[in-house]
């Protein structure tokens, strides 16, 4: 990764962040004489904010060791990882975790196709407790907002419980369907079954080929749903901020992300329920077709035995 040689072109590396005046323009970040990014200190006068922007052409570097990470940008701005409270870019939001978050060392992705720069917004921990208290007062959050976020998260957890229950039911259904597909007729059923019944049963079983892939796909999606990075990030925010009710500058953004996650879970559950009902219907058709086949085969077997006994009497 880029570690040495990155420096602020303005030469202010030795100045502590709290002592830096808010930017009036972008300050260049250079590496071996090449500008690789720009920084804006304390945008809109916010004392704990820092914004980086990396031009699109910087992501065209072939040498992976020269590609940038958030840690590289922080190093260039003379800021330690431990000072970072959180950062975000695009739809991603991460907590600093006292500098231990491995995402700090992940190579940054290129900007969206319609944007010329990747913008990384960083929030630093207040070094002055008085300043932190003042900012908390400014950012006082109404009780109903905390309650709305908590209720939204509980709704997400409830949906995830329903999804997991559905996944377990679908696992059982998959096993039943595979067993139904492999089931073969007894010798007596093969001898006495009506051809029409055999065709109907075979046709019903053939639908399993279309249903099983859907079941397996849903089981896979439901299994990995809680492991998605965006879901883990929200869980961290709930545990570290929403639970203890510590104000978070990105609360509106967090609520929007929770809303997207809730909608995603609602869609996943609805899709899974549809797949489950379809599979259950196919299995029911197979079982009914087999029951009809076996019943008619047994009736024919009895009729043949009865006819044989009658013929014996006449002889």
Do both 134 and 147 map to the same domain? no
158 lies in some domain: yes
177 is written with which tokens? 């369907």
296 lies in some domain: yes
Q: How much of the chain, in percent, has pLDDT values that exceed 90?
A: 42
pLDDT digits (tens, 9 = 90+) for 121-148: 898 887 654 444 444 443 577 888 899 9
Do both 130 and 160 map to the same domain? no
For residue 248, give the 3-state DSSP assignment: coil
- Tell me the C-alpha distance between 199 and 202, whole Å: 5
What does the mean pLDDT of the chain come to? 84
232 lies in some domain: yes
- Tell me the C-alpha distance between 110 and 117, whole Å: 8
Do both 119 and 204 map to the same domain? no
In the prediction, which pLDDT does 98 show? 82
Q: What Cα–Cα distance (Å) separates residue 238 from each residue in 16, 135, 241?
A: 31, 20, 6
Do both 258 and 212 map to the same domain? yes
pLDDT bracket for residue 261 (50, 70, 90): very high
pLDDT digits (tens, 9 = 90+) for 34-66: 777 888 888 877 788 889 999 988 888 777 777
Query: Where does a domain end: 120, 138, 156?
Result: 138
Domain residues for 299?
A: 143-314
- Bigger pLDDT: 62 vs 261: 261
76 is written with which tokens? 């260039």
Does residue 289 have a pLDDT over 50? yes
1 lies in some domain: no
85 lies in some domain: yes
Does residue 214 have a pLDDT over 90? yes
Angle between helix 143-182 and 208-224 (nearest 10): 150
Do both 185 and 231 map to the same domain? yes
Query: Tokens 């000072």 belong to which residue?
Result: 83
In the prediction, which pLDDT does 101 show? 85
Does residue 264 have a pLDDT over 80? yes
DSSP string, 42-91: SGGG-TTEEEEEEEGGGGG-S-GGGS-BHHHHHHHTT--GGGEEEEEETT
- Tell me the C-alpha distance between 24 and 29, whole Å: 16
Do both 155 and 35 map to the same domain? no
In the prediction, which pLDDT does 157 show? 94
In the prediction, which pLDDT does 103 show? 87
Does residue 287 have a pLDDT over 70? yes
Does residue 74 have a pLDDT over 90? no
pLDDT bracket for residue 271 (50, 70, 90): very high
- Bigger pLDDT: 155 vs 92: 155
Question: Whole-model pTM above 0.85?
Answer: no
Does residue 152 have a pLDDT over 90? yes
Tell me how many domains the chain contains.
2
Do both 247 and 153 map to the same domain? yes
Does residue 10 have a pLDDT over 60? no
286 lies in some domain: yes
Do both 186 and 123 map to the same domain? no
In the prediction, which pLDDT does 4 show? 40
Query: Where does a domain end: 138, 163, 190?
Result: 138
Do both 264 and 180 map to the same domain? yes
pLDDT bracket for residue 91 (50, 70, 90): confident
Q: How much of the chain, in percent, has pLDDT values that exceed 70?
A: 86
Q: What is the mean pLDDT of residues 30-36?
A: 69
Do both 110 and 163 map to the same domain? no
Do both 94 and 162 map to the same domain? no
Are 293 and 198 in contact, with CB atoms under 8 Å apart? yes
Query: Where does a domain end: 117, 138, 159?
Result: 138
Do both 195 and 114 map to the same domain? no
pLDDT digits (tens, 9 = 90+) for 161-213: 999 999 999 999 999 999 999 999 999 999 999 999 999 999 999 999 999 99
For 110: left if phi > 0, alpha if psi spans -120 to 50, otherwise beta; the answer is: beta
């Amino acid at each position: 990764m880029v570690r040495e040689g990155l420096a602020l072109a303005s030469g202010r590396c030795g100045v502590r962040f709290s002592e830096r005046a808010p930017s009036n323009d972008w300050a260049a970040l250079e590496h071996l004489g090449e500008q690789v990014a720009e920084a804006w200190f304390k945008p809109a006068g916010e004392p704990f904010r820092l914004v980086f922007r990396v031009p699109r052409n910087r992501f065209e570097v072939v040498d992976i060791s020269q590609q940038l990470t958030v840690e590289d940008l922080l190093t260039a701005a003379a800021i330690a990882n431990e000072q970072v409270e959180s950062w975000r870019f695009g739809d991603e939001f991460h907590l600093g975790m006292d500098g231990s978050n491995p995402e700090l060392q992940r190579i940054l992705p290129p900007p969206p196709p319609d944007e010329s720069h990747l913008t990384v917004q960083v929030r630093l921990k207040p070094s002055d407790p008085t300043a932190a208290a003042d900012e908390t007062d400014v950012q006082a959050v109404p009780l109903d907002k905390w309650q709305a976020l908590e209720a939204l998260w509980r709704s997400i957890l409830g949906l995830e419980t329903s999804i997991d229950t559905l996944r377990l039911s679908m696992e059982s259904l998959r096993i039943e369907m595979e067993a139904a597909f492999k089931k073969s007729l007894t010798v007596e059923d093969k001898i006495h079954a009506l051809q029409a019944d055999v065709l109907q049963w075979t046709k019903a079983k053939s639908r399993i080929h279309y249903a099983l892939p859907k079941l397996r796909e849903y089981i896979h999606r439901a299994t990995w749903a809680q492991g998605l990075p965006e879901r883990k990030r929200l869980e961290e925010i709930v545990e570290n901020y929403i639970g203890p009710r510590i104000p978070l500058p990105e609360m509106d953004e967090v609520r929007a992300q929770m809303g997207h996650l809730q909608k995603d879970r609602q869609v996943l559950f609805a899709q899974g329920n549809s797949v489950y009902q379809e599979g259950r219907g196919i299995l029911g058709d197979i079982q009914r077709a087999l029951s009809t086949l076996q019943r008619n085969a047994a009736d024919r077997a009895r009729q043949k035995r009865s006819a044989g006994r009658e013929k014996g009497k006449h002889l």
